[in-house]
Amino acid sequence: MFDAPARPAPLRIEIEAPADAAAVEALVLAAFGPGRFAKSAERLRERARVAAGFVAREDGRVIGSVRQWAVSVGGEPALFLGPIAVAADSRRAGLGADLVQACLDHAGKTGILLVGDLPYFGRFGFRPAPKVRLGGPVDQRRVLWRGEGEAAGPVQPV
């Protein structure tokens, strides 16, 4: 009979603290590179306020992060999720999904908008949002919504 390998203890997702800001920025830069600054989603984040941020730590090091930003979609309050960043040596362990779940739990009934891949985010209840308008160029097929009804209209920072 073989002993099953010990599973590592699950990482705890925590609320991002102000002292985490530099580590989060470094993690996002490592994950997405400087090209992220050219994206419409980044332009929106530059003008919106952070509504919530979550981090995962391992041995005191921030290895995962995600933020939600206060926006309105067609004049209705919403949250804009992203970016989700996980350290290269910590990927494939489900940490990204844990970070998304923290955002869903925080949002409650507030609608959440993001720019991402439907095959990944569809499992969380996100669906295409063809009537949502982000400023600047964006692949409209990647604009996704999770919330009541169909989101429509321009996205504005709050």
99-124: pLDDT as tens digits? 999 999 999 999 999 999 999 999 99
- Report whether 84 contacts 103 (CB < 8 A): no
- Report whether 66 contacts 124 (CB < 8 A): no
What is the reported pLDDT for 2?
Answer: 46
57: Cα separation from own chain's centroid: 17
Predicted model pTM: 0.88
Task: Quote the CA–CA distance of 55 and 107 in Å, as a whole number.
Answer: 16
Cα Rg for the chain, rounded, in angstroms? 16
Tens-place pLDDT, residues 17-49: 999 999 999 999 998 877 676 678 888 999 999
